[in-house]
Amino acid sequence: MKPYILVVEDEAPISTMIQYNLEKEDFEVEIVEDGEDALYSIEERKPDLILMDWMIPSITGVEICARIRKNDDTRNVPVIMVTARGEEDDRLVGLEAGADDYIVKPFSPKELVARIRAVLRRTRPVFDEKTLEHNGVVIDLNSHRVTYNGQILHLGPTEFRLLAFLMEKKGKVYSRDRLLDEVWGMDVYVENRTVDVHIRRLRKTLGETKSGLDDMIKTVRSAGYMIE
């Protein structure tokens, strides 16, 4: 799974540079330009990390960070503040508002990527892991290979992403709409019943691999799907 980074930056040359370099490093990136759009985007889809300028229109980055930390659904989302403010007092204000790290403009793309990876290692260790495992099913995130007791499972790219997401988030129920956003992406417009089709394909492959293995993916009536 690609880490999903929300970039809150109102200077187009900077946001373009950030997006280019992060996507080159295999991050999924969304750009928003002001505080109101940032809060809306966070509500629609929780990022794996927020890269946020201090001075943005409508609501400051510090205020957004404080709001994130007060919300039970988002309080653990890591935040890196990006700003031209380099004085010690300003850094303390950002950190006290809940920022996990602080990077001062101008910065190099290499430094930015290194800071993001360091924060993700501390807060989302799954992105530093090479495999996911559940009930004998092993996903190698580097090679995109899925095995069960050494036997290779032949999955399409969508089934792979769907299984990896549910295994990473095991114990949580996800609706069809949420799975579409997380696995297919928010910019892809498909019917939510598409999720059911790919779940059936995934269960079929699991069941053909071992009898009963298809039960690993649970249907929660009126709620969605999960792996326990």
- The CATH number linked to 115 is 3.40.50.2300
Per the structure, the count of domains in the chain is 2
Which of 106, 127, 148 is the C-terminal boundary of a domain?
Answer: 127
Which of 90, 105, 127 is the C-terminal boundary of a domain?
Answer: 127
- Residue range 6-34: mean pLDDT, rounded: 92
| 28 and 87 belong to one structural domain | yes
Overall pTM > 0.95? no
pLDDT at residue 87, rounded to an integer: 56
| 90 and 192 belong to one structural domain | no
Burial (CB < 10 A; 0-12, 13-18, 19+), residue 45, is middle
Written in H, E and C, the secondary structure of the chain is CCCEEEEECCCHHHHHHHHHHHHHCCCEEEEECCHHHHHHHHHHCCCCEEEEECCCCCCCHHHHHHHHHHCCCCCCCCEEEEECCCCHHHHHHHHHCCCCEEEECCCCHHHHHHHHHHHHHHHCHHHHCCEEEECCEEEECCCCEEEECCEEECCCHHHHHHHHHHHHCCCCCECHHHHHHHHHCCCCCCCCHHHHHHHHHHHHHHHHHCCCHHHHEEEECCCEEEEC
| 154 and 70 belong to one structural domain | no
What is the CB neighbour count within 10 angstroms for residue 106?
Answer: 8
| 123 and 153 belong to one structural domain | no
| 162 and 182 belong to one structural domain | yes
| 74 and 45 belong to one structural domain | yes
| 151 and 116 belong to one structural domain | no
- Express as a percent the part of the chain with pLDDT over 90: 36
| 116 and 17 belong to one structural domain | yes
Give the pLDDT band (50/70/90) at residue 184.
confident
| 187 and 81 belong to one structural domain | no
pLDDT at residue 186, rounded to an integer: 61
Tens of pLDDT, residues 193-225: 888 999 999 999 999 999 888 899 999 988 999
How far is residue 79's CA from residue 69's CA, in Å, rounded to a whole number? 10
Tens of pLDDT, residues 37-73: 999 999 888 899 999 988 888 888 888 888 888 888 8
- Residue range 4-31: mean pLDDT, rounded: 92
**Which residues pair with residue 134 across a beta bridge?**
137
| 88 and 171 belong to one structural domain | no
How far is residue 12's CA from residue 181's CA, in Å, rounded to a whole number? 25
pLDDT at residue 32, rounded to an integer: 94
How far is residue 37's CA from residue 165's CA, in Å, rounded to a whole number? 26
| 27 and 113 belong to one structural domain | yes
Q: Domain containing 222 — which CATH number?
A: 1.10.10.10
Which of 127, 155, 183 is the C-terminal boundary of a domain?
Answer: 127
| 90 and 113 belong to one structural domain | yes
pLDDT at residue 226, rounded to an integer: 93
Tens of pLDDT, residues 75-125: 889 999 887 765 556 667 667 777 888 888 888 899 999 989 888 888 776
User: Which structural domain range is residue 119 located in?
Assistant: 4-127
